[in-house]
Amino acid sequence: MSLLRQHLLTRHSVLPGFGLALGYTLLYLGLIVLIPLSATFFRTATMGWPAFWDAVTTPRVLASLRLTFGASLIAASINAVFGLLVAWVLVRYSFIGKRLVDAFVDLPFALPTAVAGIALTALYAGNGFIGSRLEPYGIKVAFTPLGITVALTFIGLPFVVRTVQPVLEDLEVELEEAAACLGANRLQTFQRVILPAIAPALLTGFTLALARAIGEYGSVVFIAGNMPMISEIAPLLIITKLEQYDYAGATAIAVVMLVISFALLLAINILQWWSSRRTRKAV
């Protein structure tokens, strides 16, 4: 029956058939994604391994890579927790101004990243509204790695909220009520009923927030301070090398970022696949 249904859908599909659609898909991905990335690897291949290794193992490059990936992981983890909380409030509660709060979630999507960076810098600088209240306690945000984490958290929050929110809307409240009737407390209900159902979506949101944070530039460059070995991110270092006409060094750093990013995303996708498979088996 499923094969017949699939055949009928294929014959009466609005879009072109599988062969033509797949051809356009591969062509589009090749032009937009694969060819530019391949050009980066080809450009780096002309350097030779010793020159490439020397370019990516300097203390300045290693410090920028550690800062970029470390701050991105921290920001994505924060968003995974608080993004879930925001999505839960928007789905499960009704309150005055709910639509306004829901619109604010999408603000980092619509706001130009440079504007976000300037606004965050003005708020968290030593003379800013928030920064002036934190500095007496010895907490300096702007022009430090902490400021970079704040900026990356700001731009990554919508990815988690908008990914988890539809899953929570489809999650039946009766499941929680049944768990409560069986004697489960709130923590047990969350761990055994809610979390397994939303885990794939939560991992997807975490992945999207992480990917966005790794490549972010506009909202970070103002609040970072851009001090080498302290608050200089890898994308900024790439721009700096391009301005110095060091194209080989810039592409070498870009290749390292691509490889590490791909490895992280692949690991997260495998974990997401395993989590989805485990959830289906449990059901």
Same domain for 33 and 157?
no
pLDDT at 77: 95
Q: How many CA atoms lie within 13 A of 42 on its CB side?
A: 6
Same domain for 24 and 85?
no
Same domain for 73 and 191?
yes
- Residues 123 and 7: their CA atoms lie apart, in Å, by 58
For the CA atoms of 210, 57, 242, 71, what is the dihedral angle to 10 degrees?
A: 20
Angle at 136 between CA 133 and CA 141, to 5 degrees: 65
pLDDT at 5: 55
Phi, psi of 150, rounded to the nearest 5 degrees: -60, -45
Same domain for 138 and 273?
yes
pLDDT at 3: 55
Amino acid type, 57: T
pLDDT at 4: 52
CB atoms within 10 A of CB 23: 11
* Residue 3 lies inside a defined structural domain of this protein: no
* Residue 195 lies inside a defined structural domain of this protein: yes
Sign, Cα dihedral of 72, 75, 81, 83: negative
pLDDT at 15: 61
* Domain total of the chain: 2
Same domain for 161 and 98?
yes
Same domain for 154 and 201?
yes
| pTM (two decimals) | 0.84
What residue has token string 């010895």? 138
Q: Over the chain, what HEC string results?
A: CHHHHHHHHHHCCCCCCHHHHHHHHHHHHHHHHHHHHHHHHHHHHCCCHHHHHHHHCCHHHHHHHHHHHHHHHHHHHHHHHHHHHHHHHHHHCCCCCHHHHHHHHCHHHHCCHHHHHHHHHHHHCCCCCCHHHHHHHCCCCCCCHHHHHHHHHHHHHHHHHHHHHHHHHHCCHHHHHHHHHCCCCHHHHHHHHHHHHHHHHHHHHHHHHHHHHHCCCHHHHHHHCCCCCCCCCHHHHHHHHHHCCCHHHHHHHHHHHHHHHHHHHHHHHHHHHHHHHHHHHHC
pLDDT at 16: 63
* Residue 221 lies inside a defined structural domain of this protein: yes
Same domain for 96 and 197?
yes
Same domain for 93 and 41?
no
73, 83, 241, 274 from 87: Cα distances, Å? 20, 6, 41, 24
Structural domain of residue 138, as residue ranges? 48-282
* Residue 267 lies inside a defined structural domain of this protein: yes
* Residue 4 lies inside a defined structural domain of this protein: no
Supply the CATH number for residue 122's domain. Answer: 1.10.3720.10
Structure tokens, 152: 């990356």
pLDDT at 30: 84
* Residue 1 lies inside a defined structural domain of this protein: no
Give Cβ neighbours of residue 53 (< 8 Å, ≥ 6 apart): none
- Residues 217 and 100: their CA atoms lie apart, in Å, by 28
* Tens of pLDDT, residue by residue, the chain (283 residues): 455 555 545 555 666 666 777 788 888 888 888 888 887 888 787 888 888 898 899 999 999 999 999 999 999 999 999 999 999 999 888 888 888 988 889 888 888 888 888 999 999 988 888 988 998 888 899 889 999 999 999 999 999 999 999 988 888 777 777 777 877 777 888 878 888 888 888 988 998 899 899 988 888 988 988 888 888 999 999 998 888 888 888 899 999 998 888 888 888 878 777 766 766 665 5
* Residue 272 lies inside a defined structural domain of this protein: yes
Same domain for 101 and 29?
no
* Residue 52 lies inside a defined structural domain of this protein: yes
Same domain for 37 and 52?
no
Same domain for 21 and 102?
no
Same domain for 236 and 272?
yes
